[in-house]
Amino acid sequence: MSEPIARRNILVDYRINTTRCELCGKTYFPPKSFCDREGRASKMSQVDYFYKKGSFFSGAAINRSTNKFSHLDSYISAVITFDEASFMVPGRITDYVPPSEKLDVSEFIGKSVIPRFRKTYADGSDGMVYYSSLNFSFEDDYYPYQEYREVKPSEKGDKPGIVGYGVYIPKFRIKNEPESQGVKERALPFADEDTTTFAVEAGKRALLHSGINSRYVKKCFTGSESAPYAVKPMMATVSQALELGEEYDGGYFSGGIDSQFACKAATDLFVDAAALVSYPVFDGEYVMVIGADNSQAAPGDALDYTVGAGGAAYLFGKRDVIATLDCYVPYTSDTPDFYRRQGEKYPKHGGRFTGEPAYFKHVVTAMKAALEKTKLTPKDIQYVVNHSPNARFPYEAAMNVGFSKEQINPSLVVAKIGNLYSGSSPTGLASVLDIAEPGDKILMTSYGSGAGSESYLFTVTDKILEKRTRSIPVKQQVDNPHRQYVSYATYRKWKEMN
């Protein structure tokens, strides 16, 4: 596919853009500039179906695919109806592997499906990667449907902090038998997922949770160490898909960057996000920060038994804040514990060296400094969240500083989803925000190899309760009964497709 074709497709496919005749109501996909019925009298308006659900009209299980889709083996392609059959779109059913035994596709007719932002395919390893929301998962499966409802923000802003968050953990899992450093099972990407799709999914959920209008998000930071492109920002894809900023001529008045600092690529920008919304020149309401990774590890390496996949997105602003950002303590040293050279596929690491002089030193130093700076003791804090490369490190660091297992345990989702790298501490924080009460204090410490850490102190507000109805809790995803286990061979195969 050429670049101009890709760009044209992006404008239609990222959000399932249609045009609707304002006179007769007929909806067109792909969009048309006039209505067949009304002709010259047509008055067309744009309507997108990014947040809508459709239903399965018909389809087929493709066993012999085109070459472009051969990486998916067998899958279902379908015709999906929206708005009770007023228009239809073609789509691929995702998060679903047709059974090898006899399948009756007609049993899917009428089932509700949810659009999912997924990879369609890539032009080899050096060509473009194409995405679309014309991929659908069944509503009665892993991924729950959420209706987007814009909520009018409060008139007055106050202290900056988190106004919404969203976590996305993919459906597929691999079991660790035996468990590895406390990690029992791990999430992995489906064959059409990558870090960009995680970022979009997490960001979408943050928008749903906050209820804000995406046009007021003026900056987006996407932190990761598994971006599909070495050069081409994930952030631009996220911005386009989520319509971040005021729209103008197919683009958006928003900025941002992809960032890299091993596993703390996203979290270190929390303070920047909070600072920006307080800075008059910025002149924007919200900043989105996303940490996502299809965490990479060489086959058979120790990390190959702890890495997970997924991401978390946070919206920072000053209105309707659910947790204020009260303290930031960063700590950095040039410590070569884990690294990946340009062009290399897998990271290398110093084995035992990564623990003591790297992770523990940086995490504990930042935690202690934060306590000192805020003049708090562990008893004054309800929850502690530490970057979780495994289930042992964050626990030991918390104990070392004087926290109890009750304070650290709610954030240790790593045991069931693995190390999400840049998404790790943000997901741990989300699992605590899912249960925190107004007034609770949370100490989150992130860690990035190479090496650095930062501690944040958050104080939960009463706004958290009213927004909780719009969240999809981390625990609900971790323990989702529709999660599906795959073999090690499938895990490696899908992981390599990023």
Residue ranges that bind another protein, judged by CB under 8 A? 9, 13, 28-30, 57-69, 72, 75, 77-80, 87-92, 98, 103, 105-106, 109, 120-121, 130, 132, 134
80 or 202, CB closer to another protein? 80
Alpha helices by DSSP H, listed for 112-259, are: 195-210, 234-242
Considering 225, 243, 285, 454, which one is annotated as catalytic? 225
CA distance 32 to 26: 11
* Residues paired with 203 in a beta bridge: none
Q: Confirm if 309 and 293 have CB atoms less than 8 A apart.
A: yes
- State residue 410 phi and psi, 5-degree precision: -60, -25
> Does the annotation count 454 as an active-site position?
no
Collect all residues with Cβ–Cβ distance below 8 Å to 419 and sequence separation of at least 6. Answer: 183, 263, 295, 303, 306, 307, 308, 388, 389, 390
> Does the annotation count 246 as an active-site position?
no
62 or 302, CB closer to another protein? 62
| Least distance from another protein to the Cβ atom of residue 127, Å | 15
34 or 69, CB closer to another protein? 69
46 or 70, CB closer to another protein? 70
| Least distance from another protein to the Cβ atom of residue 234, Å | 21
| Least distance from another protein to the Cβ atom of residue 96, Å | 12
| Least distance from another protein to the Cβ atom of residue 101, Å | 11
DSSP letter for each residue of 174-203: EEEEEEETTEEEEEE--TT--HHHHHHHHH
99 or 178, CB closer to another protein? 99
Closest CA to 381 of 437, 446, 442, 324: 442
Considering 21, 35, 220, 263, which one is annotated as catalytic? 263
CA distance 425 to 102: 43
Q: Confirm if 292 and 265 have CB atoms less than 8 A apart.
A: no
> Does the annotation count 185 as an active-site position?
no
Under the phi-then-psi rule, with left for phi > 0, alpha for psi from -120 to 50, and beta for the rest, what region is 214?
A: alpha
| Least distance from another protein to the Cβ atom of residue 189, Å | 18
CA distance 201 to 242: 9
Q: Which residues are identified as catalytic?
A: 225, 263, 387
